């Protein structure tokens, strides 16, 4: 028996779907199904009744689910209390961030809190979203900053900021696009799109954008490993790309905003995620208030400035290991 198996059961119970639960837990469906089956063998009875149409808890599963929830909560509390004992004079906030996040804006959001709480140490880690979610589940991170996902019941969330999604035409399409400030999804639906691996959330956002308009992007067979490579490949006429405004080079020509059929601008939303149980720690309570009340005003002011005014990332924040930007 392990914590991952307990979280798998809780996810299936909340979503009524092995597929949705696997996505929420950032694992493959076979991994989730195998983990639950192993737990059922160990406990001695089935936890779920499975049919072709639905998944429901058995009476045995309903009886044990509250106890599983208590075990997971106890693990989170144990980790936080161990840290509080070992570092009583100094708070620690561990933030995992997606490579897609605007790092300059991140620094602007964090710095006022650091000035107001000089004894709190903030550690940043940049990893792909799958690893960040797993570290949050295991109590190795206090917050994850990344692309907004479908709401996960066990997490608290608050929006950090939004920014426009921009269309980068392929080499042959640049002349057409450069004559317009915006394009419709319908007008660019036949393009072949360059993608990065689905680790930072960008590919998922791009597919969802087209799916909301009953379509799907035609994807280039290769994968770029950075946002700048997407732009380079587009310039080589290998395909078009979609990027958040902050990830597009300043001198890139032919870039357009994207509008849906109603003329609404396509945007990407970033949010902070954390476990509800973290609210009992004073310095994390203060940081949560900062995220909900102070950050919106900071972001609004930053977005109103000209884009050429770059924001500095405070040098005092310590950054942990990171994966290549993708």
Q: At 175, which CATH number?
A: 3.40.190.10
Structural domains in the chain (count): 2
* CB 32, CB 21: distance < 8 Å: yes
pLDDT at 133: 85
Q: How far apart are the first and last CA of the chain?
A: 35
Domain containing 261 equals 162-267
The DSSP bridge partners found for residue 158 are 272
pLDDT digits (tens, 9 = 90+) for 206-248: 888 888 877 788 888 888 877 888 888 988 889 999 999 988 8
User: Where are the alpha helices (H) located in 44-144, listed in sequence order?
Assistant: 59-86, 103-116, 129-137
* CB 253, CB 174: distance < 8 Å: yes
Nearest Cα to Cα of residue 231 among 207, 209, 212, 251: 251
Q: What is the DSSP letter of 28?
A: -
* Boundary (domain end) residue, out of 36, 71, 106: 71
Take residue 260 and report the two structure tokens written for it.
Answer: 């849906």
Q: Average pLDDT of 289-313?
A: 71
153 part of a folded domain: no
Q: Are strands 155-168 and 267-275 parallel, antiparallel or unpaired?
A: antiparallel
246 part of a folded domain: yes
84 part of a folded domain: no
Residues in the chain: 326
30 part of a folded domain: yes
Class of residue 27 by CB neighbours under 10 A (exposed 0-12, middle 13-18, buried 19+): buried
252 part of a folded domain: yes
pLDDT digits (tens, 9 = 90+) for 85-94: 666 556 789 9
Q: What is the DSSP letter of 290?
A: I
* Boundary (domain end) residue, out of 71, 97, 129: 71
Nearest Cα to Cα of residue 168 among 212, 262, 232, 222: 232
Above 50 in pLDDT, residue 186? yes
The whole-angstrom separation of Cα 166 and Cα 186 is 15
**CATH code, domain carrying 63:** 1.10.10.10
* CB 10, CB 69: distance < 8 Å: yes
Phi, psi torsion values for 213, nearest 5 degrees: -110, 30
pLDDT digits (tens, 9 = 90+) for 132-174: 888 888 888 899 999 887 556 678 899 999 999 999 998 854 4
* Boundary (domain end) residue, out of 216, 250, 267: 267
Question: pTM to 2 decimals?
Answer: 0.65
Who wins on pLDDT, 111 or 254?
A: 111
Q: Are strands 241-244 and 155-168 parallel, antiparallel or unpaired?
A: antiparallel
307 part of a folded domain: no
pLDDT digits (tens, 9 = 90+) for 25-52: 888 889 999 999 999 999 999 999 988 7
Take residue 133 and report the two structure tokens written for it.
Answer: 């979610």
155 part of a folded domain: no
Nearest Cα to Cα of residue 246 among 299, 317, 186, 170: 299
Give the other-Cβ count within 10 Å of 211's Cβ. 11
Confidence band for 294, pLDDT divided at 50, 70 and 90:
very high
187 part of a folded domain: yes
């Amino acid at each position: 028996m392990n914590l991952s198996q307990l979280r798998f059961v809780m996810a299936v119970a909340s979503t009524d779907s092995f597929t949705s639960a696997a996505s929420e837990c950032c694992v493959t469906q076979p991994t989730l199904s195998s983990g639950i089956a192993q737990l059922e063998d160990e406990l001695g009875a089935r936890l779920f009744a499975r049919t072709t149409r639905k998944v429901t808890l058995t009476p045995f599963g309903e009886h044990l689910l509250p106890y599983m929830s208590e075990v997971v909560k106890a693990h989170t509390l144990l980790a936080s209390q161990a840290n509080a004992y070992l570092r009583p004079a100094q708070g620690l906030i561990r933030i995992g961030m997606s490579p897609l996040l605007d790092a300059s804006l991140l620094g602007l959001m964090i710095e006022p809190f650091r000035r107001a709480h000089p004894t709190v140490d903030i550690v940043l880690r940049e990893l792909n979203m799958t690893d960040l979610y797993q570290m949050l589940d295991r109590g190795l991170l206090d917050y994850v900053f990344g692309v907004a996902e479908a709401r996960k019941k066990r997490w608290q969330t608050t929006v950090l900021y939004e920014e426009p999604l921009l269309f980068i035409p392929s080499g042959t399409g640049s002349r057409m696009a450069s004559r317009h400030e915006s394009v419709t999804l319908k007008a660019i639906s036949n393009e072949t799109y360059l993608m990065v691996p689905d680790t930072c959330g960008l590919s998922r956002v791009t597919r969802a954008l087209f799916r909301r308009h009953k379509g799907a992007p035609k994807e280039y067979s290769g994968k770029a490993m950075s946002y700048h490579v997407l732009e380079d490949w587009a310039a080589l006429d290998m395909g078009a790309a979609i990027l958040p405004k902050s990830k597009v080079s300043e001198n890139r020509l032919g870039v357009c905003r994207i509008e849906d059929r109603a003329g609404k601008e396509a945007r990407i939303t970033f949010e902070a995620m954390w476990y509800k149980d973290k609210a009992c720690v004073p310095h994390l309570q203060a940081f949560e208030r900062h995220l909900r009340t102070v950050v919106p005003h900071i972001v609004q002011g930053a977005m109103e400035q000209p884009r050429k005014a770059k924001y500095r990332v405070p040098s005092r924040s310590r950054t942990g290991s990171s994966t290549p930007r993708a």
